[in-house]
Amino acid sequence: MLFKHEITSEEELREIIGTPSERARKKVISHIDEHVRTFISKSPFLVLATSNLAGSCDSSPRGDAPGFVHILSENVLVIPERPGNKRMDSILNIMTNPNVGLLFFIPGLEETLRINGKAKIIRDEEILEKMNVNGKTPLLATAVTVEECFIHCAKALKRSQLWHSDTWYEDNSLPKPAKILADHVNIPEMDEKRIAADLKEGYQNRLY
């Protein structure tokens, strides 16, 4: 698609947006301090951003009970790899390009925590065993060496009113994931009813 005016230089961008304040520049730290540690310990959900060598990007949700992300030191944290659809998009990206971005959420808190760094896929048993849930130990984990940590302001969540339950849609007006999957995969035997049943079974029996 052709656009009339595409921004192509930082100079033009700065003319429009301006420059960051001293506070915005200095808020970035390069390690996990007590504040970051506390935030991570209370976060049940994060988004992991990766890209491959060609620059193709992926953002993947990761969620579990608060504290599911383990902090090994002031520079390293570990995210368990729970059972999924075996596409392994994030893992395959990390194996070719270790640069990752993490966005941590705490329900009810509108500020978020951003962490950037370099990741490795590990299978150290002594680390994986610490992330055992319901007798199930993850087969792999993502270890991130932290390079940048900073709090992100609440404006996006305030504008979206994400944590305001009175803005949430009624169940009958929400998109139907099973219907979407059925239409997208387009496999005759995989109709909406079959996929809905498969999803329900997976959520009940294969979270860990």
**Contact indicator for 122, 98 with CB cutoff of 8 Å:** no
Using CA atoms in the order 79, 82, 87, 92, what is the torsion angle rounded to 10 degrees? Answer: 20
Helical spans, DSSP H, in 87-191:
89-96, 125-128, 155-160, 177-185
% of the chain with per-residue pLDDT over 90 = 98
In a 13 Å sphere around the CA of 67, the CA atoms on its Cβ side amount to 4
Give residue 105's pLDDT.
98
Q: In what order do the strands lie in the sheet with 99-105?
A: 57-63, 45-51, 99-105, 112-122, 140-152, 76-81, 70-71
* pLDDT average, residue stretch 74-95: 96
* pLDDT average, residue stretch 108-119: 98
* pLDDT average, residue stretch 32-52: 98
pLDDT at 52 over 90: yes
One-letter amino acid for residue 87 of the chain: R
**Contact indicator for 36, 53 with CB cutoff of 8 Å:** no
Give residue 10's pLDDT.
96
Give residue 31's pLDDT.
98
Q: Which of 87, 90, 85 is nearest to 141 (CA)?
A: 90
Structure tokens at 197: 């049943």
* pLDDT average, residue stretch 55-69: 97
For residue 1, what pLDDT band results from cuts at 50, 70 and 90?
confident
Catalogue all structural domains in the chain, each as residue range(s) with its CATH number: 22-160 (2.30.110.10), 169-205 (no CATH)
For residue 43, what pLDDT band results from cuts at 50, 70 and 90?
very high
Mean confidence (pLDDT) of the chain: 97
For residue 162, what pLDDT band results from cuts at 50, 70 and 90?
very high
Map 2-30 to HEC letters. Answer: CCCCCCCCHHHHHHHHCCCCHHHHHCCEC
Model confidence over 128-145: pLDDT tens digits? 999 999 999 999 999 999
